[in-house]
Structure 1
Amino acid sequence: MIRLDDRLLEQLGLDALPASHRRALLMAIYQELEIRVGVRLAAQMDGRQLNEFEGFVAVGDKASALAFLEREFPLYKRVVEEEFDRLRTEIGTQLSDIQALSQVYGDVHVVVTPLPDPWKASAKAAGQ
């Protein structure tokens, strides 16, 4: 199971970052992982599958979207794991840069404004 929390940052050697920087980094990791997995899975979908999946997203139906992935792409969890491992490796090669930037902006409180959740935005637009 993938956990995006302070334990991950500790494993990466980034647990000494200020709390606001840790939150911002975890949010960035989550968003990047979501993009990478989405791109890989979408590339494997045919038109019917893409339309069906986008339909679930449009109405904010996470349960049906998950059931769809489990039915149509039973190995999707492997894609998530692979992309997570790649991302961890990339972060590992950039530790000194991340730490240096954190020191430069150490006194700056980082406010994390998450990207809009496509599930909530889609459901709201659909009037739910």
Structure 2
Amino acid sequence: MITLSPELLSDAGFVNMTEEQVRLALQDIYNTLELRVGRRLANKLTQVQLAQFEKHISANDERAALGWLDDNSPNYREVVHEEYQLIIERLNGAIEAGARD
């Protein structure tokens, strides 16, 4: 399970951030992760499947949406993990690039 917490940012080298900056950064990471995972999964689904999944999302039924993903896109957890790792690598790269400047 992936947890987005202030420690994620500090472990990546982002320190001395205000609470608001941390909140905004974590929200941005979450939104980016959601978008990237969604794109990858959507590329492998039919229009009918997309409509079915969207129905659960629109109803704010997270449990049904996750169940649907388990049935129709069983590798979604792997996709989430892969995209999460890519985001972490970018965060670490940003800190390293900043240290060189």
Name the TM-score, length of structure 1 as normaliser: 0.70
Distance 2:45 2:92 in 1: 31
Q: How many residues align?
A: 99
Name the TM-score, length of structure 2 as normaliser: 0.88
Question: Where does residue 49 of structure 1 map in the other structure?
Answer: 49
Tell me which structure has the larger Cα radius of gyration. 1
Deviations 1:23-50 (A, max 9, x none): 1111110110010001111111012211
The ranges of structure 1 where at least 4 consecutive aligned residues each deviate by more than 2 angstroms after the TM superposition are: 96-99
One-letter amino acid of the counterpart of residue 67, structure 1: G
Q: Which runs of 5+ in 1 are unaligned?
A: 100-128
Give the C-alpha shift of residue 67 in structure 1: 0.3
One-letter amino acid of the counterpart of residue 18, structure 1: T
More helix by share: 2
Over the aligned positions, Cα root-mean-square deviation in angstroms equals: 1.8
Q: Does the alignment pair 1:81 with 2:81?
A: yes
Fraction of identical pairs, as percent:
32
Question: Where does residue 68 of structure 2 map in the other structure?
Answer: 68
Deviations 1:54-91 (A, max 9, x none): 11122222111110001111110000000000011111
Q: Does the alignment pair 1:3 with 2:3?
A: yes
Moved more, 13-22 or 34-43: 13-22
Question: Where does residue 12 of structure 1 map in the other structure?
Answer: 12
SS of structure 2 residue aligned to 1:3? coil
The answer to which structure, 1 or 2, has the higher relative contact order (CA under 8 A, 6+ apart) is: 1
Q: Which runs of 5+ in 2 are unaligned?
A: none
